[in-house]
Chain A
Amino acid sequence: MPKVTINDQVYDVPAGRTIIQVADESGIDIPRYCYHPDIGIEGSCRMCLVEVEKMPKLVPSCATPVVEGMVIRTNTARVEQAVRYAMEFLLLHHPIDCPVCDQSGECFLQDYYMEHAGHASRYPGTQKTHRSKAVDLGPLVKLDRERCILCTRCVRFTKNVTKTGEIGVFSRGHASEIAIHGEVPFDNPYSGNVVDICPVGALTSSDFRFKVRAWFLKGTDSICAGCSTGCNLRIDHSARASGGGIGGLTATEGKIYRHFGRRNVAVNKSWLCDEGRLSFHTMERWPRLREARPLVGAPLEHIHQRFETIRKQHGAGSVAALGSATSTNEALFLMKKYFGGLVDFRIGHETETYQKMQDDLLRRLDKHPNTQGALDLGLASTLGGLNGLVDAAERKQIRAMWIAFHPQLVGNDPDETLAGLERLVRALEYSVVSTTHEFSWVAPASVVLPMAAWAEENGTYTNYSGRVQITNRAVAPAGDSVPLYAMMSQLLTLSGIQVTPNPAAIFEWMARETPEYAGMNYATLDKLGVETAKEMVR
């Protein structure tokens, strides 16, 4: 392992790293535009120049590997001057339209100008080159050529990550610009990522564009529930009630505005698929279920009594539950406790497909985030999934059921699933459906309870590879909605087992009883999650 000195501090680093990687790992800030850890090295922006002893010129730290005995300085006057000159060149023809630019507030140009440059332009503003604005590159991405600094992050993304190569740099010198090849649109399932990685306001998302300014947003780290990959993301949602007391326009409940890829090298690098990126719009597809039906004083006490009477009349096997692989581990665990193991979660083909890739990057065929978690809890029981439960209900073997249904965040739920659920609800003597939206198949249910959706509750998902990750609450549940784990802990409390409706505490209880999760808790899971010990599972 080579020993290098950065700013008089000695670091032991693995061979083959570049200077900027070492600096990032040691918390030393080096400004950069073109460098991004997941897309390959270009070295075109000249922002990351550092001084290395015995080298006559400054070297780009993103493209220089460390060697034994290197003495690096990132804060000398020479480096500062070089960065200032680089900034001056990059801003030479920049339109400085920050007030209308969507990137402002999270723009590298703004941040580095304040931090490293602070110069007054020496170029007459009236002579700036004007280029085309609001060019459609594809259905999700718009390009503003005036703001572009030609860092080629987007070009390298299409070249090295998706390997589709739709975007390129065309023409030479001052005329060079980002463009697509002829009329072929930039339309691949991962196109939204170029908006995330664009360091300036050149690439903007057609979906997010002009919706809200970046400084009104609050980021909550969470997990995508679109498929079993479990990509890490940041949910950007409203942080304050803009519009004050204006009726109907106040965002007090919170509104999700966009998803932003969160770096987790073990799962998704920095990427998200477009379906997952826009999956929060699924919540807007149907009207939300806001209150319980029929409205009784204390619905859960009433439900508990009904379940108890049916159990007494027809035996313990007559009451079961159907969760889904979109429910969190915590909710499924409590469900298993309350229904004495008579819980299933298979409403489609989750167990067969959850490890199969849909393409060679991220997407998986199973559109449920927690299939592995449900399997770890042993919920693939003898009940035989949705079809088995429908049979049992029609044979009057099962008379009462709790059905917790959360729609798929990506794509439509299969028609046979919805038809099966409707048959199940009709066949049951007493059915409790806890769901998120007003679905038509819910109508014949005895009791309908509003359930908090994804991003409205805390919990954990276990992804296809067995990585347990925390999904966080970003916005308030709609209307009277309550998270499933809260409803289940209330039922358990009614049945005599005291449960605090706290996901962290429930997870610790679950970790004690489930061998795969032994020794885990919310503190060890943290932001990036923990892989379950492979030799113990499967």
Chain B
Amino acid sequence: MTPVRGGYAVDVPTINVSDRARQEHATVWSTFRAFGVTLRRLFTSFVKRDMPTISYPEQQRNYSERFRGTHILTTREDGSLKCVACYMCATICPAECIYIEAGEHPNPEIEKFPRQFNIDMMRCIYCGFCVDACPEEAIVMSREHHQAAYSRSETVWGIEKLMTRPGIDAKGPGYRPNRPFAEAKLYNPKEKDECAWPSVTDERHPAVLYESMIQKRQ
């Protein structure tokens, strides 16, 4: 055991930096090689216009069909709110960010409707449990995540904003597991902006690979 130094009662290994550099063949020449990489990128991005980055927020990527963005309250055919105020989402919510007040629906078959349905978007952790718990598919998630606001009170979204906000379906719905994912477009590397993540029907998707692996084992 080496004597205690620097207050730590452990054996601190010493690294010989020049040894390591020699092992990795790092010489003066490698410095210029590194400049070369930078220059090559400069050429490809400015002359060939092949850039991995985009000019956000003017340009935006489209996220996957399973993206858990801000919530959407869906409607029936007649335009009325689908929610029956059953509190399943408020019950499962680990962040306790959903507040519902139920009222008596004029149609006794439907029984209930939410007089108030508020989600505290600052408190929400976007886990998507509310969507999983909903028996009516009344709440789904969008592919949108922008929610800048000037005050905290604006970040509590009521029925109106959850149901009809501008551009709510511009990007299409996000996480909604009860609708079959087969509808979703398959991943095509040529259409880079179409879908950043493969859908679960894609054979290369980790979830599908894992499932087929298990099937093979059985």
Binding site for B on A (CB under 8 A): 97, 99-100, 132-134, 209-211, 213, 215-216, 240-247, 249
Residue from the set A132, A213, A215, A216 with the largest chain B CB neighbour count within 10 Å:
A213
Inter-chain CA distance A246–B136, complex, in Å, is 25
Tell me if B123 and A133 are in contact (CB < 8 A): no
Residues of B66-92 at the interface with A, using a CB-CB cut-off of 8 Å, are 84-88, 90-91
Tell me if B112 and A249 are in contact (CB < 8 A): no
Residue from the list A132, A133, A213, A249 in contact with B87, Cβ < 8 A = A213
Tell me if A99 and B86 are in contact (CB < 8 A): yes
From A215, which residue of chain B is reached at the shortest CB distance? B91
From B87, which residue of chain A is reached at the shortest CB distance? A213
B84 to chain A, nearest CB (A): 5
Tell me if B90 and A242 are in contact (CB < 8 A): yes
14 extra interchain contacts, Cβ-Cβ under 8 A, other than A209-B104, A243-B98?
Answer: A99-B84, A99-B136, A134-B108, A134-B111, A210-B112, A240-B96, A242-B99, A243-B120, A244-B95, A244-B97, A246-B99, A246-B118, A247-B153, A247-B156
Tell me if B111 and A249 are in contact (CB < 8 A): no
The answer to whether A100 and B86 touch (CB under 8 A), given A210-B103, A210-B104, is: yes
A2 to chain B, nearest CB (A): 48
Tell me if B103 and A249 are in contact (CB < 8 A): no
Inter-chain CA distance A358–B120, complex, in Å, is 50
From A242, which residue of chain B is reached at the shortest CB distance? B90
Tell me if B109 and A243 are in contact (CB < 8 A): no
Inter-chain CA distance A215–B87, complex, in Å, is 10
Chain B residues in 8 Å Cβ range of A243: 96-99, 118, 120
Inter-chain CA distance A209–B104, complex, in Å, is 9
**8 residue pairs A–B, Cβ–Cβ below 8 Å:** A97-B111, A209-B104, A213-B91, A216-B91, A243-B98, A244-B96, A246-B97, A247-B153
Tell me if A244 and B87 are in contact (CB < 8 A): no
B200 interface hit (Cβ, 8 Å): no
B11 to chain A, nearest CB (A): 50
Binding site for A on B (CB under 8 A): 84-88, 90-91, 95-99, 102-104, 108-109, 111-112, 118, 120, 122-123, 135-136, 153, 156
Inter-chain CA distance A169–B153, complex, in Å, is 53
Inter-chain CA distance A498–B55, complex, in Å, is 74
Chain B residues in 8 Å Cβ range of A97: 111
From B153, which residue of chain A is reached at the shortest CB distance? A247
B153 to chain A, nearest CB (A): 7
Chain A residues in 8 Å Cβ range of B156: 246-247
Residue from the set A133, A210, A215, A241 with the largest chain B CB neighbour count within 10 Å:
A210
Tell me if B86 and A242 are in contact (CB < 8 A): no
Inter-chain CA distance A247–B91, complex, in Å, is 19
The answer to whether A133 and B118 touch (CB under 8 A), given A99-B135, A243-B99, A249-B99, is: no
Chain B residues in 8 Å Cβ range of A241: 96
The answer to whether A246 and B104 touch (CB under 8 A), given A133-B109, A133-B111, is: no
A329 to chain B, nearest CB (A): 39
Inter-chain CA distance A213–B133, complex, in Å, is 15
A247 to chain B, nearest CB (A): 7
Inter-chain CA distance A244–B118, complex, in Å, is 10
Residue from the list A100, A134, A246 in contact with B84, Cβ < 8 A = A100
B62 to chain A, nearest CB (A): 31
B38 to chain A, nearest CB (A): 48
Chain A residues in 8 Å Cβ range of B97: 243-246
Inter-chain CA distance A211–B102, complex, in Å, is 7
Tell me if B118 and A210 are in contact (CB < 8 A): no
Inter-chain CA distance A133–B109, complex, in Å, is 7
Inter-chain CA distance A134–B103, complex, in Å, is 13
Chain B residues in 8 Å Cβ range of A249: 99, 118
Residue from the list A99, A133, A216, A244 in contact with B108, Cβ < 8 A = A133
Inter-chain CA distance A216–B91, complex, in Å, is 8
Tell me if B112 and A246 are in contact (CB < 8 A): no
Inter-chain CA distance A132–B111, complex, in Å, is 12
A144 to chain B, nearest CB (A): 8
From B116, which residue of chain A is reached at the shortest CB distance? A249
Residue from the list A210, A240, A244 in contact with B85, Cβ < 8 A = A210
Inter-chain CA distance A99–B95, complex, in Å, is 21
Chain B residues in 8 Å Cβ range of A100: 84-86, 111-112
Chain B residues in 8 Å Cβ range of A216: 87, 91
Tell me if B123 and A244 are in contact (CB < 8 A): yes
Chain A residues in 8 Å Cβ range of B88: 99
Inter-chain CA distance A213–B112, complex, in Å, is 13
Inter-chain CA distance A190–B83, complex, in Å, is 35
Tell me if B120 and A245 are in contact (CB < 8 A): yes
Inter-chain CA distance A97–B109, complex, in Å, is 10
Inter-chain CA distance A130–B98, complex, in Å, is 33
Chain A residues in 8 Å Cβ range of B86: 99-100
Residue from the list B85, B103, B120 in contact with A246, Cβ < 8 A = B120
Chain B residues in 8 Å Cβ range of A209: 104
